[in-house]
Amino acid sequence: MTPVLLSARSAALLLTDWRAGTDAPAYEALSDALRVLVIDGRIPQGVRLPAERGLAVALGVSRTTVANAYSRLRSDGFVVSVRGSGSVVRLPAGLIGRPDPERLGGVVDDDLLDLRKAAMHAAPGIADAVERAARHLPAALAGIGYDTVGDPGLRAAIATRYTERGLPTDASQVIVTIGAQHAIALLARVLVRRGDAVLVESPTYPHAHEAFREAGGRLVGVPVDARTGWDATALETTLRRTAPAVAYVMPELHNPTGATMSRSTRELLLSVAASTGTTVIADETMGELRIEGEPSVPLAAASASVVMIGSADKVFWGGLRIGWIRAAPELLQRLLLARPTSDLGTPVLDQLVARELVPRTEAVLEARREYLRRGRDDVVGALRARLPEWDVPSPAGGLTTWVGLGRPVSSALVLAARSEGVVLASGGVFGPDGGFERFLRVPFTMPPADRVRLVDVLERSWARIGGDAAGVRGSLAAVV
């Protein structure tokens, strides 16, 4: 089979910032950057790298630089030359970890602790909700079941929840989607035209930046830091300079940093977005998972044009696959017209269950808060004690801590942990334009025994890749 070709343009997009923070020769920096992309799966095994000349042009370097980088990857075992197919990516034999259950044909391994998705086991009460939902079945079964708008009872419950949180809402302002991911993809498809600028946070939720890029958006990033929050100056200048069609933000308990946007930054965002004609999308998928501090009123309370995304999946259970969009009825109408080419409605049975659960959000959050507080304090406390050279923030909520490793070795660390059955997403996955090799997203969602295992494995893996020894490149090369 002919290997899939990575175009020079796609490679250049993945390689933004490949020279940042290094004074190594260009060919070495390029081969290191490509190696990281292979290790964390952004360039999958079996893909054919672009021709040397094409990549050289796309990156603005000499062909010799690319040739030397490829040659280094070849001698390290990351690339093989296949007659007629050029340079094909592979992982060296020693680095191939356990099979990945997410790949077709992957073996499901009970011993694998997969933390690439930050989510909790189901909240108590789902089985009861299923039973109560069954009472509404006869009425539902009388309809044909294709429901792109959403169950009226569920839409009313979602509207009531917004109203309770300080954002008066009517059911006509809400449609139900197949999880928040579907909401993001649908909004991207309707609001973004090829070549439009789309403002995203950097780092951000990976499947959001993928969805906006897939819709043809040209992503522009604004820095968010776990401790200091949003860079307000960058936010303002980026908005004014690029006048993006959409600004996708997570103002409440941002994923992955856990930061919450200050009142002044919210005001700035809304006022500048109004002047640049930008539609602000506020994704609150993590937003209700507050462990401490006061929750903010949803962003749309300050501007009727803000589009809100929500989800039942983090609060109650990922298996529900129920999300929603709150927007002006005109936009909802456009979304509904666009929807049938990708899906013909949200499953009715799941909606009936969610309709029982959403009115119980406050009670469920109470229990979740306690669980998450313990998880956060255990994981953050243990990491701080055992890996004192790391910067481990204690977020006010959400499901993860965004750890600063101090060195650009996230992919190597993830790979080492993986060989012991603990699978994490490396920092780079969260960068809309690369970077973040100095960070690792560590969830604290797992039961106590798995927390112990996670920290043990991270400590051992850190030691294996060189621990706190000096020498950035040396330690990366030691593993890969």
Ligand X SMILES: Cc1ncc(COP(=O)(O)O)c(C=O)c1O
CB-facing half-sphere around the CA of 378: CA atoms within 13 A: 21
The residue (of 184 and 382) whose beta carbon lies closer to ligand X is 184
The residue (of 41 and 310) whose beta carbon lies closer to ligand X is 310
Smallest gap, in angstroms, from Cβ of residue 286 to ligand X? 5
Six token digits for residue 427: 């920092």
Report the interhelical angle of 152-164 vs 348-357 (nearest 10°): 30
437 to each of 210, 393, 473, how far by Cα in Å? 19, 17, 12
Q: Which of the 8 DSSP states describes residue 222?
A: E
What are residue 441's DSSP bridge partners?
402
The residue (of 63 and 207) whose beta carbon lies closer to ligand X is 207
H or E stretch at 325: strand 323-326
Q: Cα–Cα distance between 192 and 401 in angstroms, integer?
A: 31
Smallest gap, in angstroms, from Cβ of residue 313 to ligand X? 4
CA angle 411, 4, 56 (to 5 degrees): 70
The residue (of 123 and 180) whose beta carbon lies closer to ligand X is 180
The residue (of 95 and 226) whose beta carbon lies closer to ligand X is 226
- Residue 203 preceded by cis peptide, ω within 30: yes
Q: Cα–Cα distance between 231 and 216 in angstroms, integer?
A: 26
The residue (of 38 and 180) whose beta carbon lies closer to ligand X is 180
Q: Cα–Cα distance between 47 and 49 in angstroms, integer?
A: 6
The residue (of 38 and 200) whose beta carbon lies closer to ligand X is 200
Q: Cα–Cα distance between 44 and 33 in angstroms, integer?
A: 14
Smallest gap, in angstroms, from Cβ of residue 179 to ligand X? 3
Spell out the residues 6+ positions from residue 139 whose beta carbon is closer than 8 angstroms to its own. Answer: none
Smallest gap, in angstroms, from Cβ of residue 443 to ligand X? 10
For the CA atoms of the chain, what is the radius of gyration?
Answer: 23
84 to each of 2, 57, 63, 70, how far by Cα in Å? 9, 22, 20, 16
Smallest gap, in angstroms, from Cβ of residue 279 to ligand X? 17
Smallest gap, in angstroms, from Cβ of residue 323 to ligand X? 4
In the numeric block, the tokens 């009226």 are attached to 152
281 φ, ψ (degrees, to nearest 5): -110, 120
- Which of 275, 292, 277, 278 has its CA nearest to residue 249? 278
- Cα-Cα-Cα-Cα dihedral sign, residues 451, 476, 24, 33: negative
The residue (of 180 and 476) whose beta carbon lies closer to ligand X is 180
The residue (of 70 and 212) whose beta carbon lies closer to ligand X is 212
Binding-site ranges for ligand X (CB under 6 A): 179-181, 205, 250, 255, 283, 285-286, 311, 313, 318, 323
Q: Cα–Cα distance between 248 and 219 in angstroms, integer?
A: 10
Smallest gap, in angstroms, from Cβ of residue 360 to ligand X? 18
The DSSP code sequence of 367-398 is: HHHHHHHHHHHHHHHHHHHH-TTSB----SBS
Residues 290 and 265 sit within 8 Å (Cβ to Cβ): no
The residue (of 61 and 246) whose beta carbon lies closer to ligand X is 246
The residue (of 115 and 180) whose beta carbon lies closer to ligand X is 180
User: Which residue sits closest to ligand X, CB atoms considered?
Assistant: 179
Q: Cα–Cα distance between 455 and 303 in angstroms, integer?
A: 43
The residue (of 87 and 346) whose beta carbon lies closer to ligand X is 346
CA angle 32, 101, 16 (to 5 degrees): 25
Smallest gap, in angstroms, from Cβ of residue 344 to ligand X? 18
The residue (of 61 and 358) whose beta carbon lies closer to ligand X is 358
Smallest gap, in angstroms, from Cβ of residue 95 to ligand X? 27
